[in-house]
Chain A
Amino acid sequence: MPAALSTEALVVVQSAVRRFGSRAALSGASLSACRGEILVLLGPNGAGKSTLLRALCGRTRLDSGSIRIAGGDPAERAVRRRIGFVPQSIALWTQLSVRHNLELFGRLAGLKRAQLATAVADTLDWTGLAARANDPVASLSGGMQRRINIAAGTLHRPELLLLDEPTVGLDPVARSEVHQVLDRLRRSGMSLIMTTHDLVEAEALADRVALMSAGAIRAQDSLAQLIGRLFGSDQEVVLMLAAEPAPAIRDALRAARLSPTNEAQVWIGRLGSGLEQLPELRTQLISAGADIAELRIRQPGLHGVYIELTGQVPQE
């Protein structure tokens, strides 16, 4: 992370509302993003993240509210030149070479012929794919394809890059490569707004996170600020059960203010700052019939923040 973020707001979304029939995909979302930061949008499926991304690149008109990017409306052509978009899928012509893809997307982004050659050469250089420039995209590894997928959205040096789950489906090595690419783009001064379901990735990359649910931003800030605001001095308790709990035990766990996770045997909750409450909780759980394999406390993280703000267990 950079030592100090710019405080100049590049993106300002105010009370954005977008309805599809009777369903409100955005119901008054407000958001801001500064120059040179990575803002990670988190939230359950259907929270409105994709709709917000489309609205940010001018593809969805709002029913009410406003979006300003560098002071302009993203529906305007000139403003869209300042934006790059990286779809979730490998949005490339995979039978064509890396170079041809970059040249084509550069032209589509509005680069002139003279600028294009330099932009393509630079991109091949920083993605480390100069040696594979003439190979078909289909012949590259998943990580290389992801790098080109991101690079294809940055040829025109946008001020704002929007990424829809840029690492979905990647193995840890390829994911790490993509993280390096994103970090490099941030350090070049570009602002990145990305969605992900991977909280570890969000913790590693985000300068700030914004949590969405039901079409609205529930909170946005740096992770440390959010934890401080939501948890204060409380700690997070993690319970691992030896077996999947029966319904009666699940009720007892909820009564003890523990929440389920995606793993049926792992539950989390919060405790006061000291360790005094831990033996009491343990006794309460054992008497309820829980077969405890491990009970530990830890500093609260994004997982806890997510549950606090959305009321749902994150999908990872």
Chain B
Amino acid sequence: MFRAALLQLLHDRGALLLSLFVPAVFFLIFAEIFATAASDEVQVHVALVDEVRSADSISLLAALQREATVTIVPGVTDRATALDLVRRGTADVALIVRADGEALADAAGLAAPPLLILVDPSRSVAATVLSGQLQRAYFSALPDLAVGRVAELIGTEFTEFSAEQQAEIDSGLAGLRDSAGAGQRGGWSFEELLDRENVVGQTAALNHIAYYAGAVAFMFLMFASAQNAVGILDDQAAGILDRIAAGPGGIIVVLNGRFMFLVLQGMVQNTVIFCVAWLLYGVDVPGNFGAWLLISFCAAVLAAGLGLLLVTACRTRAQAQILPTVVILIMSAIGGSMVPRFFMPEWLQTVGWITPNTWVLEAYSGLFWRGETLQALLPGCAGLFLTGMLALAISYLLARRLVQR
């Protein structure tokens, strides 16, 4: 039986593919993702804007740029551009030395802090990393300011250094130590220099839910499309395709009928998933209904076309049960349907653009995450729709093989 099982596996290329090739590819993808996510050397892409251009700000930013873990996104000159880059994900975070805040040298917490970090809630870790690097740069580039602020702190908190005052200093330091131990802020902190602002109105959790709604929806749209499209091969085996192909409409009737059904099925699936996201988690589907409907329709067209293409590319039912599964699993892993794209290394994010999952996720993210307008979403939606129709057209050609023997 061992030999029989081995021979069967060797003769079944599909099973061989699923049992050996796919696990290896999955391992590679996830190893890359988690090696990056768990690495000590996180690279933070920062959009820098210096609205003040004082000697202090120039020194500070120069020191920050020397930090090994900071990569400066080039070509950023104003706050609006920086905000846009963070929204698009080109920059992880933006740092603004702002003109509408206090000066770096004498910030006293009386107005807006001199430094502003713009961050996407999904990448809040990037803001934390930048904050740490910024602190190091501050103390290395502007030590006089740092010490001055300590002296100011002493001047304001501890006046003269007599024996009696020394006792007060000791008492004050002990108090600061106690406060720090109790988790309370005491005295001056570097954080007073910093302000932090989310680039979108929603919370990180809500953004993640909107992301996953799109991610899960499209992956299952693809699976459901391919699964249903396999019915074409069942019809072929039963002779139904032969009968229909001899009729006035020919084989195109079969594909068009399936395609329309799959689009409708995809719309229903999208509706169910986003209704859950709206009703249970508050993702604002009603407030973005028109754009959501457009994206969902185009995503359903894309999934329907690709499902038909994957199945008509197969010659047997056995192939059609393996090939689409393999392709959809790999596309979903690379394209961000399983692990969010922003957890992936940059090269994998770039590779992800070849997958339709990424296109659909970017469209949904544009709407629910970055708050893009319907007009801004139109080119992406047109891409989804046209690719779906192209896949349908190719499946017309491939399906002719099914009835021409």
Contacts and interface: CB of A to CB of B under 8 A. Distances in A.
Interface of A: 57-60, 77-78, 80-81, 83-94, 105, 108-110, 152-153, 162
Interface residues of B, number: 15
B248 A91 contact: no
A110 B238 contact: no
Contacts of A110: 247-249
A302 B404 CA distance: 32
13 contacts: A58-B246, A78-B248, A81-B248, A83-B246, A85-B246, A87-B243, A90-B238, A91-B238, A91-B243, A94-B238, A105-B243, A108-B247, A152-B243
Contact of B249 (A57, A91, A108): A108
A255 B173 CA distance: 126
Contacts of B248: 77-78, 80-81, 109-110
B256 to A, nearest CB: 12
Contact of A91 (B240, B250, B253, B404): B240
A161 to B, nearest CB: 11
A57 B247 CA distance: 8
Given A59-B404, A60-B404, A108-B253, A89 B239 contact: yes
B242 interface: yes
A contact patch SS: loop
Interface in B226-263: 238-240, 242-250, 253
B242 A91 contact: yes
B176 interface: no
B403 interface: yes
Interface string B209-228: 00000000000000000000
B243 A153 contact: yes
Given A59-B404, A108-B253, A92 B238 contact: yes
Contacts of A92: 238, 240
Contacts of B243: 85-87, 91, 105, 152-153
Contacts of B246: 57-59, 80, 83-85, 162
A94 B234 CA distance: 11
B253 A85 contact: no
Contact of A88 (B239, B244, B249, B404): B239
Contacts of B245: 59
B12 to A, nearest CB: 25
A87 B404 CA distance: 14
A59 B238 contact: no
Contacts of A109: 247-248
Given A59-B403, A59-B404, A60-B404, A90 B247 contact: no
Contacts of B240: 87, 91-93
Given A58-B246, A83-B246, A152-B243, A89 B238 contact: yes
Contacts of A58: 246
Given A85-B246, A91-B242, 11 more contacts: A77-B249, A80-B247, A81-B248, A84-B246, A87-B239, A89-B238, A90-B239, A91-B239, A92-B238, A108-B247, A109-B247
A186 B306 CA distance: 45
A110 B244 CA distance: 11
Interface in B361-405: 403-404
A182 B242 CA distance: 20
A217 B256 CA distance: 38
B234 to A, nearest CB: 9
Interface string B8-46: 000000000000000000000000000000000000000
Contacts of B247: 80, 85, 108-110
Contacts of A88: 239
A112 to B, nearest CB: 13
A242 B354 CA distance: 74
Contacts of A59: 242, 245-246, 403-404
A153 B243 CA distance: 8
A315 B335 CA distance: 57
B240 to A, nearest CB: 5
Contacts of B239: 87-91
A301 to B, nearest CB: 31
Contacts of A90: 238-239
Nearest to B253: A108
